[in-house]
């Protein structure tokens, strides 16, 4: 077996252990990857599952396991992940662009992953006030009090506008604080429904944010680790892209082949294969999911038979 070398990295509350180990006489490099705990946890694990990396997360443990022996996983608040990645405590992490900005973290952004807790759209940090208030723009809040979780970014926002305000950290339920406790809030919104339900009106947007995969700059320089990061990027991006596509295949005879092919706006070119019966062909391609309702009738009218629709799990351009 030989000696196995361990190294320990101390955090504020625990010791996160990462190490290379041997399996079947081969050394496997371990990569420490931080996953977001909280609202993004479920959708992140589901994304990895669809990408082919099966993660098992216990409710009582912050150290999930997976079927990828190269990954050392840890669940932590996404607000903290950029800082630990920058310091090298983690090789990489999945967090929000907003928390990377908030921490001014010097990290390598590997890719943007357009998903959130319930949709595949970007979220926004917005400045919101009571709907019946006199405030129309950020400058109207001079001398006011603002509650937010995104304290440093909010301070920089008002400083750039030269508007003096008091910014205080909010421990949660931020949208219920105006007007009794604060004059306005800076909060994140995905659909705006929570703000509307609490009779709040958006008067400005601080930044758009999405989920991103980041890496420690020194780890990213390591060719072995960098290759691993790129593999994860490819799988995750391909999985997200595939959600926009659907596979379709059909049969056609030689007389209708060209007409059928013209109905298909393929990602590249449709695959056309001869069938065992002379003069007949199988056509296979993928199309945008939103186009399926018009493509299938068009194929049938063009002379296609045996039309089959199937799910696509990954699209790698």
- Determine the Cα–Cα distance for residues 54 and 73; give it in Å rounded to an integer: 12
Shared-domain flag, residues 115 and 219: yes
Shared-domain flag, residues 145 and 199: yes
Residue 260 belongs to some domain of the structure = yes
The whole-model pTM stands at 0.83
Look up the CATH number of the domain holding residue 260.
3.30.70.120
Shared-domain flag, residues 115 and 131: no
Residue 235 belongs to some domain of the structure = yes
Shared-domain flag, residues 79 and 190: no
Of 190, 206, 222, the last residue of a domain is: 206
Neighbours of 210 (CB within 10 A): 16
pLDDT in tens, 230-242: 999 999 999 999 9
Residue 34 belongs to some domain of the structure = yes
Shared-domain flag, residues 187 and 200: yes
Shared-domain flag, residues 113 and 224: yes
Of 242, 263, 292, the last residue of a domain is: 242
pLDDT in tens, 38-52: 989 999 999 999 999
Residue 120 confidence class, pLDDT cut points 50, 70, 90: low
Tell me the two tokens of residue 138: 């950020």
Look up the CATH number of the domain holding residue 160.
3.40.190.10
Residue 6 confidence class, pLDDT cut points 50, 70, 90: very low
Residue 150: helix, strand or coil by DSSP?
Answer: coil
Residue 163: helix, strand or coil by DSSP?
Answer: coil
Residue 88 is predicted with a pLDDT of 97
Domain extent for 144: 123-206
Shared-domain flag, residues 142 and 226: no
Q: Which residue has 């926009």 as its token pair?
A: 244
Q: How far apart are the first and last CA of the chain?
A: 42
Shared-domain flag, residues 173 and 191: yes
Residue 104 belongs to some domain of the structure = yes
Shared-domain flag, residues 91 and 156: no
Burial of 197 (C-beta count, 10 Å sphere; 0-12/13-18/19+): exposed
Residue 264 confidence class, pLDDT cut points 50, 70, 90: very high
Number of domains in the chain: 3
Contact 96, 211 (CB under 8 A): yes
Residue 2 belongs to some domain of the structure = no
Residue 16: helix, strand or coil by DSSP?
Answer: strand
Is pLDDT of 25 > 50? no
**Alpha helices, H only, 105-246:** 151-160, 193-197, 217-221, 223-242
Shared-domain flag, residues 110 and 221: yes
Shared-domain flag, residues 220 and 145: no
Residue 118 is predicted with a pLDDT of 57
Tell me the two tokens of residue 96: 């929000």
Residue 174 belongs to some domain of the structure = yes
């Amino acid at each position: 077996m030989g000696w196995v070398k361990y190294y320990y990295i101390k955090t504020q509350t625990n010791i996160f252990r990462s190490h290379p180990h041997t399996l079947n006489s081969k050394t496997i490099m371990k990569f420490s990857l931080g996953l977001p705990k909280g609202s993004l946890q479920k959708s992140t694990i589901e994304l990895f599952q669809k990408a082919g990396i099966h993660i098992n997360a216990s409710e009582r443990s912050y150290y999930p396991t997976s079927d990828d022996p190269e990954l050392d996983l840890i669940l932590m608040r996404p607000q903290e992940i950029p800082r630990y990645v920058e310091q090298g405590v983690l090789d990489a992490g999945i967090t929000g662009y907003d928390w990377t900005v908030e921490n001014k973290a010097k990290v390598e952004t590997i890719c943007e992953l357009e998903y959130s807790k319930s949709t595949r759209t970007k979220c926004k940090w917005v400045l919101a006030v009571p709907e019946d208030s006199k405030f129309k723009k950020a400058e109207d809040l001079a001398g006011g009090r603002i509650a937010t979780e995104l304290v440093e970014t909010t301070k920089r926002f008002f400083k750039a506008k030269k508007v003096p305000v008091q910014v205080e950290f909010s421990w949660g339920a931020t949208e219920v604080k105006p007007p009794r406790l604060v004059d306005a809030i800076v909060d994140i919104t995905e659909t705006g429904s929570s703000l509307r339900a609490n009779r709040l009106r958006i008067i400005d947007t601080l930044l758009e944010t999405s989920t991103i995969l980041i890496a420690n700059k020194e780890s990213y320089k390591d060719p072995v680790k960098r290759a691993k990061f790129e593999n994860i990027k490819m799988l995750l991006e391909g999985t997200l892209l595939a959600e926009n596509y659907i596979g379709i295949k059909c049969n056609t005879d030689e007389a209708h082949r060209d007409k059928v092919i013209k109905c298909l706006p393929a990602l590249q070119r449709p695959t056309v294969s001869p069938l065992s019966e002379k003069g007949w062909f199988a056509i296979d391609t993928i199309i945008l999911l939103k186009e399926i309702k018009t493509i299938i009738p068009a194929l049938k009218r063009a002379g296609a038979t045996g039309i089959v629709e199937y799910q696509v799990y990954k699209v790698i351009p």
